[in-house]
Amino acid sequence: MTVKPTYDMLLLRFGEFTLKGKNRNRFEKSILQHVRALLKPYPDVNILKEYGRLYVRLNGHPFEPVLADLKKVFGIVSISPVKVCPSELESIVSSALQFMSETSLAPSTTFKVNARRVWKAFPHSSQDMNHLVGSPLLRAFPQLSVNVKEPELELRVEIREDRTYLFHESIQGAGGFPLGTNGKAMLLLSGGIDSPVAAYSAMRRGLEVECVHFYSYPFTSQQAKEKVIELAGILSQYSGTLKLHLVPFTEVQTSFTGIGQDNLIITFMRRAMLRIATRLAEREGALALVTGESLGQVASQTLPSMNVIGRATELPLLRPLITADKHEIIALSKEIGTYDTSIQPFEDCCTLFIPKSPTTNPNLRIVQKVEATLPGLSDKLEQAVEQTETLVITPDQWASTHTQGKESVIREEWF
């Protein structure tokens, strides 16, 4: 069924945070700011706020591109394109007839009218309105038949004092909590499939996320770095602005080679990453670390490995994908638009120096003892933090460089 784009408004409904009592106003304010930021490219549209809802007046603008952007706003559970008319019976009936004439109906379509009289002074009851609107539709469109239990099309009529809304679609939004309303976290972003999905999942739960990426030039390539910046750009479409910290990791990573503990290299490396990410988090005011780990996926993601690796930081470690399987993660990566970039075949530092038999059950005492014998490890960690480059990526900036080429974003000194 195809609907012509002649809607007047988009109705935005809020999600689970409406149950949060005194925090509700703060959450609604956060959504309003996010929506305003996303609507800047559409100067013709404006916002109407009511208790528990937002409306976006389209003012003649096609609804599809605006809808596509608003579906990325966390905290909005559903969106309905709406036709608006005066709250008078004659206007409501004529608008319903026009609404249906603009809808491509199958030769046999079941429907019902679901009227809701929010304005109690309106002279006809909700039940009366179902008949007063439905009967003219049945006479005008012979392909329609009534099915009140499972209709193929449900025309909803919401009567308020100053206007009446007509709509029949409820399109799923991003849901979750408004961005940043649950604090800030530092996310370890690799070039793989999992960590961008973890970033999206964390943001969807109301976290403001900053990303940290570790590179090991010359063992990792410029394309690998570009790939991560592109992933951050895609994620910035959901956050508005995204900080990406690029950490030179070569000195730290190579310090773990040649010490006769090849099976523990991944453990050492992951612990070092957490220590560096922790220092960056403390510097940036983030209160947790987020990783893309999924239980049992690789040797460093067994429960014993995660226990030993996680002991390297005192910050809470959040793992949004911990119980998700690979198929679920891939499906979400495709949905949010990161999959095609993630599968580009450019190596990152996590794929370097992988031993033939990495341990799945490291011993914390042995790991700590070996780390204590490595000369200058603490200084190398500190040096990596000091040499970290930080990019602030916005959707507009990313879209521009993505279209024109990436030369203006990548700087040679990063390599």
- Is residue 283 marked as binding? no
Q: Is 214 annotated as a binding residue?
A: yes
Q: Is 301 annotated as a binding residue?
A: yes
Q: How far apart are the first and last CA of the chain?
A: 52
* Contact call for residues 338 and 197 (beta carbons, < 8 A): yes
Say if residue 85 is exposed, middle or buried (CB neighbours under 10 Å; 0-12, 13-18, 19+): buried
Dihedral sign computed on CA atoms, order 334, 340, 343, 349: negative
Question: Distance between CA atoms of 114 and 134, rounded to whole angstroms?
Answer: 9
In whole angstroms, give the CA distance from residue 250 to residue 353. Answer: 12
SS3 86: coil
Alpha-carbon span 97 to 113, nearest angstrom: 12
Fill in the DSSP letter of residue 251. Answer: H
Please name the residue ranges forming H helices in 71-105: 89-101
270 has binding-site annotation = yes
164: β partners: 85, 159
Q: Is 295 annotated as a binding residue?
A: no
**CB within 8 Å of 131: residues ≥ 6 apart:** none
Residue 237, marked binder: no
Residue 194: partners with Cβ closer than 8 Å, 6 or more residues away? 292, 293, 294, 297, 321, 329
| Cis amide prior to 43 (ω within 30 degrees) | no
Question: Which DSSP letter does residue 205 get?
Answer: B
The pair of structure tokens assigned to 269 is 């490396």
Q: How would you class 308 by CB atoms within 10 Å of its CB: exposed for 0-12, middle for 13-18, buried for 19 or more?
A: buried
Contacts (Cβ under 8 Å, ≥6 apart) of 290: 185, 186, 187, 188, 198, 199, 202, 207, 209, 317, 318, 319, 320
Phi, psi of 37 (to 5 degrees): -65, -40
Known binding residues are 188-189, 213-214, 270, 292, 301
Known binding residues for ATP are 188-189, 213-214, 270, 292, 301
